[in-house]
Structure 1
């Protein structure tokens, strides 16, 4: 089926002449399956703390979606700072006067908007930094077996875990 991404799916975590990288993991398909899913695509990913790279099979065509309003997601890292609780308290204390259930809905909306704004001001573009760390790891893993630098690879893995 072919693939996109790094050339191997397993590495023995050794450097130099002792380094071994192999493409152990595959997707297999017969002609009937390939005709049923002509846009299928296999991608080798990068793993921060595993000697196996994930492989993903996409069976639907890549259709660009319109940019729409992103759904709100609460990030676990927010609770580590004491400011998060204050942002929530301030947003939740506002009385909209719509009636019990509508007030709750408005408070949730106000809270999510306040947290999103606070997140952008305090944490910046976390998702962009995560993607940059993934790219750095993929680049480190895509290197030649004999030139793989374990220190660089470990640093890329650590960056992704932070």
Structure 2
């Protein structure tokens, strides 16, 4: 009743033979449970906060001017991959930077002045 394509789409499917009448046929009950698919496709998200980082422009410029033979889609892909790697380092530091800014704001609210 199935083939390999169907089984790969519904690996967790359950089939039950139900009790029938006096006939030699019995009804079946199929539950085609679809296994959750993991999204393995890379999805790039540009963070506007990166614009204030000088390294962002350098990464885009290097990715855009790297290979002369690359078409526009390849250049966009290279830029997005390079920005994603670099961005993880910056984004990972966002929480620490936010914490430091909040502490500084708290000191200002308390009337304390911070002089460099």
- Alignment TM class, shorter chain as reference: 0.3 to 0.5
TM-score (norm 2): 0.45
TM-score (norm 1): 0.33
Higher relative contact order, structure no. (Cα contacts within 8 Å, ≥ 6 residues apart): 1
**Rg bigger for which structure?**
2
